[in-house]
Amino acid sequence: MKIGIIGTGYIGLTEGLCFASLGQHVICYDIIKEKIEQLNKGIPTLFEENIETLLKDNLAKKMIEFTDDLEVVMKGSDIVFLCVNTPEDPDTGECDLSQILTSTKSIAEMSDKIGNKFFILAVRSTVPVGTNKKIKENMLKINRKLNYLQCSNPEFSRQGSAIYDFMNPDRIVVGVDDEKSKEQMGLVYKPLTDKGFPIFFTNIETAEMIKYSSNTFLNIKICFINEICDICEKTGANVTDIAKAMGMDKRISPLFLRPGPGIGGSCFPKDSIALSKIGKKLGLSLKIIDASVDSNIIRKNSLADRVIKLSKGKSLEGKTVSLLGLTFKANTDDTRYSPALNLVEELSKKNAKVHAYDPHGTEKFKYMVDPKALDSIQFFENAYDAVKDTELLVIITEWDEFKILDYKKIYQMVKQKIIVDFRSILNEKEIEKIGFKYYFIGKDLSKI
Ligand code: UDX
């Protein structure tokens, strides 16, 4: 089967490479010419585990090609996966469908040129319930002779482990309203279903909602443990043990119960906001969903105050904080909705300065952060340079390399001997033995 991918972002690129590794011929399309040139040379355009090897291998085997010519992808594909971004509309909070509408318009217009050759459009981007129907209406309005079928095929891959997640899915969800799409989608995923991974067929609206429901549920789960964590910090209860014991209950599961600085990334925050907006449009009062959106924003915006309180309660005005980590989690270069953005922006409002280091996220952070805060932040090439002569050290992303730094050396470099660890990645006893005051997420505040 020949596969087309529209959009070579985190999902389009990783999944195009995965399909190619499973033996399908793949053509990936993107409107950004430089990206296509770079990918055709075997240079990844984003950071993701194993991506470079997969890209080079599949290019060498001629199993994948990259093009900025839509005609090439439409001519050469039986199933076209739509993997463009659906970000949050900054004005309304709703899901911004402009990339979906532009690309499907181009597909509909292009189809005449290739003799209205049959194809299946699999919508992989996250879209609000009812969007597939709208896409179909729009496309058929543009080209009534369009010879295609459409299905919804939401993705569930985590950044940083997107390749593993695609190859080892908990379930593959496909929303269909015709038998041919069901059969063809079954065939395209056969290499995975043959290994025992389940495929779940449903109607299109349900598939659209499964994605939002899964992401929002996990968002709520993390917000919940974050709030439990706050209670623990004031009462001496141990949040790690609570999460462990809760997770032993099979109905709860231990996953996604790790407290932290707040939820980031391109999915959970925006999908929860979008679901809340969907509810409002339908005249529904979705109190749990709305509360999780607020809870996460409050948590991320309170990080700077936490740091100030922990710095012996003194203001940090005019002082410099060192910050390890900028990405929303480890093993990605993505900084979208990263808690580091809130921390830096809030510290900058309080006239504090930041010296930051991240192994992969610096460039994307510069692009995402409020330009007003950029003047107060300086970026470094390694952790030790970032830490030197700063007031105190804050860890916000759980990169492995931060776990094995020489903290004895760092002790000599920071002025206040304080580490604020929003990911609880260090060993409390070892760090305190060096002489640091060590705050980690969930720590009994009376012991600081
Ligand atoms: C998520 C979903 O997991 C994936 O299925 C979907 O397709 C895309 O969105 P991703 O955004 O890459 O993936 O990251 P994920 O690992 O889910 O983490 C999201 C955020 O929650 C991160 O900020 C992470 O640090 C935070 N998190 C996660 C916690 O704070 N605690 C946890 O226990 C788990």
Fill in the DSSP letter of residue 263. Answer: -
Q: What is the mean pLDDT of the chain?
A: 96
Fill in the DSSP letter of residue 95. Answer: B
Longest distance between any two alpha carbons in the chain, whole Å: 74
Q: What's the CA-to-centroid distance between 265 and ligand 1, angstroms?
A: 7
Structure tokens, 362: 């610096």
Average pLDDT over residues 336-362: 97
The gap from C-alpha 98 to its chain's centroid, in whole angstroms, comes to 20
* pLDDT surpasses 70 at 130: yes
Helix locations, 168-203, DSSP H: 179-188, 190-193
Residue nearest to atom 7 of ligand 1 (CA): 156
Cα–Cα dist 286/272, whole Å = 11
Average pLDDT over residues 327-335: 97
For the beta carbon of residue 353, count every other beta carbon within 10 angstroms.
Answer: 20
Query: Do 289 and 276 touch, CB atoms closer than 8 A?
Result: yes
Which residues are identified as catalytic?
267
Average pLDDT over residues 294-313: 92
Residue nearest to atom 14 of ligand 1 (CA): 158
- Percent of the chain exceeding pLDDT 90 equals 96
Residue nearest to atom 34 of ligand 1 (CA): 256
Residues 6+ apart with CB under 8 A from 391: 311, 316, 319, 320, 321, 414, 415, 416
Q: Which atom of ligand 1 is nearest to the CA of 219?
A: 21
Which of the four pLDDT bands, split at 50, 70 and 90, describes residue 438? very high
CA distances from 179 to 184, 255, 342 (A): 9, 36, 48
Give the per-residue pLDDT at 247: 98
Instruction: Give me the residues paired with residue 354 across strands.
Output: 321, 377
* pLDDT surpasses 70 at 313: no
pLDDT per residue as tens digits for the range 75-88: 999 999 999 999 99
Residue nearest to atom 6 of ligand 1 (CA): 156
Angle between the N-to-C axes of helices 204-235 and 287-301, in degrees from 0 to 180, rounded to the nearest 10: 50
Residue with tokens 């469908």: 97
Give the per-residue pLDDT at 448: 77
pLDDT per residue as tens digits for the range 171-201: 999 999 999 999 999 999 999 999 999 999 9
Give the per-residue pLDDT at 61: 97
Q: What's the CA-to-centroid distance between 268 and ligand 1, angstroms?
A: 7
* pLDDT surpasses 90 at 312: no
Q: What is the pTM of this model?
A: 0.96
Protein residues whose CB sits closer than 6 Å to any atom of ligand 1: 155-159, 215, 222, 256-258, 260, 263-265, 267-268, 328-329
pLDDT per residue as tens digits for the range 197-235: 999 999 999 999 999 999 999 999 999 999 999 999 999
Which of the four pLDDT bands, split at 50, 70 and 90, describes residue 344? very high
Q: Which atom of ligand 1 is nearest to the CA of 265?
A: 11
* pLDDT surpasses 70 at 400: yes
Cα–Cα dist 392/114, whole Å = 62
* pLDDT surpasses 90 at 414: yes
